[in-house]
Amino acid sequence: MSSHSKNQMQSIKVIRYGIRDVILIILGENKVPLFKPQLLYQMNHYDLSFIPDENKINAILQKLAKQGLLAYTLIGNSYGVTLTKKGETEYNIIQ
């Protein structure tokens, strides 16, 4: 926990539901994913304590969008989520 300034936003949360994984990739300030999606399964940065179903994920995204915290679109099986508040951090949720 020593590198403070540039990489403090990096984290990965995997939300499991049903037979699919939803991978939350938090991008850095330069809009580049901090980890490549195909490497996530080989790493141990998983947080499985948050396990909603698909309806709950949609409800969470809609609630945050209504609060002005993010804008999101649903394209095929992928969510494209962008925070609109301070920091402009982009979230990609891949089903």
- Give the pLDDT confidence of 39-68 residue by residue, as tens digits: 333 333 333 334 345 565 566 556 656 665
Among 47, 31, 46, 9, residue whose Cα is nearest residue 82: 31
Q: Return mean pLDDT, the chain.
A: 44
d(CA 63, CA 59): 6
Q: What is the pTM of this model?
A: 0.29
Highest mean pLDDT among 31-35, 61-65, 68-72, 79-83: 61-65
Residue 68 pLDDT? 57
Q: What pLDDT is stored for residue 11 in this prediction?
A: 34
Task: Tally Cβ neighbours within 10 Å of residue 40.
Answer: 18
Give bridge partners of residue 17 from the DSSP assignment.
20
Quote the Cα angle for 13-40-56, to 5°: 30
